[in-house]
Structure 1
Amino acid sequence: MAAVPLSLQVGERKFTTTKATLSKSGFFSALLAGPWEGDLLMDGSYFIDADPDIFDFVLKYLRHGILPLFYDKVKGHDYRLYLAVLEREHILGHFASPFHKISIIRKRIDEYGFILIWEARYFQVESLEKWIHDKTYLKAIKSTHRASEVDRIQDVSRSFSSELDVEYHTSWKTEKIYICPRRIFVHRGNPEACGRQCKQAQGTAEPEYEEELTVKALAIEKETTFNFEICMDDDR
């Protein structure tokens, strides 16, 4: 039997889902188990006085079982979104009835330096709360840093995986470069390349060097890998 669509008016946005999807939430299981005519709109949709942007993340999780990951390679994790979803899930546990409405809470989170506004109605999704409360999302992203010296400027021009970010820090240095006594260019800078004839040409004279200005580069590599399996909730 095909699932019957169910419409939700969450704040100023409308969502279409099914009762089976919403039943994975303790909040909606209780609400849909009995009559809910008090919040039924004229178009047949159910009204929920909540933040639609945050509810969107909750509904996507209920549909697909993929835990949300709010991460950007440049900015890192978006803790404001994690906390907004967490508080929506967490505070509901303090109320016995899913119909209980609470006033808007304004709270300053000094650790992150911003103000969150949490509305009434929270949706009781235990696994989602645990994902954020235990900071399991941190295990989904792994960053590895490496540093290496680049001797030749040609080595800077190479291709990298999209998971790898490389920064180069350059500096100029004066180096003494070995000069072959026979002036063979391929022996330049490499005294071990000189053979018997070069040594005969050298005779008893001291090895010859000349100063040369060279560029050195320090490569800082940051590799970011994503473990998709951690975001899959098999126990949902």
Structure 2
Amino acid sequence: MEDDPSHTENNRITLRVGERLFHTTKGTLTGESGYFQARLTRLNDSDANGSYFIDSDPTLFEVILRYLRTGTPPLFFDSATMAHDLEKYAALLSEARYFQIPSLVAWIVEQRYLQVIQVDTKIRVFKEEPGTDLLASSSTSTSKVEYFPSTGIERRPYFKVLAIAQTVTFDPKKLEYYG
């Protein structure tokens, strides 16, 4: 029945989110979203032109719709800072709860995105005295490793060499469908 053109025509839907229009199908929206299951099956509140107004951030809604279409969870990873954008995850979590998408809520709440991209940071400070080298490391993409040398007047430099090594590992298998 899915290949029937008349069925596909009747299944198409236009959403107005802010000033942006999104074109999709009722099946895409109602497959996982409790919000859209209720709104599109019980209510007929479309505008005069047949579109539905959704009071949401269009940028975040684009991510929500992509997730509903593909089942692939979003990654908000900034390669410049080598960290996940936790602010975006928090904003998306609010929207996922609003649109009642439990699998996306779980993806964010359980921080599964941390399993997809790992950043290993190793810092080594080579000091003048043998055996006094300092080593720090981090194996998460949500923490920052910062080095703050002590201040003061010294006749000799505090350290000679500061070595930082970062390794980023992406595991696409961890992006499996969570629906």
Q: Please, what TM-score do these two structures have when normalized by structure 2?
A: 0.68
The gaps in structure 1 that reach 5 residues or longer are 91-121, 149-215
Alignment match, 1:209: none
Alignment match, 1:125: 101
Distance 2:76 2:48 in 1: 36
Distance 1:89 1:217 in 2: 47
Between Structure 1 and Structure 2, whose CA radius of gyration is higher? 1
2:42 counterpart (30, 34, 47) = 34
The gaps in structure 2 that reach 5 residues or longer are 125-159
RMSD: 2.1
2:33 counterpart (25, 31, 41) = 25
SS in 2 for 1:138: helix
Query: Does residue 1:228 correspond to 2:169, yes or no?
Result: no
Aligned residues with identical type, % of pairs:
41
Cα displacement (A) at 1:88: 2.2
Deviations 1:104-138 (A, max 9, x none): xxxxxxxxxxxxxxxxxx20000100111111111
Distance 2:107 2:123 in 1: 33
Distance 2:111 2:35 in 1: 23
Distance 1:20 1:123 in 2: 15
2:59 counterpart (47, 53, 56) = 53
Distance 1:32 1:11 in 2: 19
* Shift >4 Å, 4+ stretches: 216-219
- Whichever residue aligns with residue 22 of structure 1, its letter is L
Whichever structure has more strand as a proportion of its residues is 1
When the two structures are aligned, how many residues end up with a matched partner?
136
Alignment match, 1:97: none
- Whichever residue aligns with residue 108 of structure 2, its letter is I
- Whichever residue aligns with residue 231 of structure 1, its letter is L
Q: Where do 1:91-102 residues align within 5 Å?
A: none
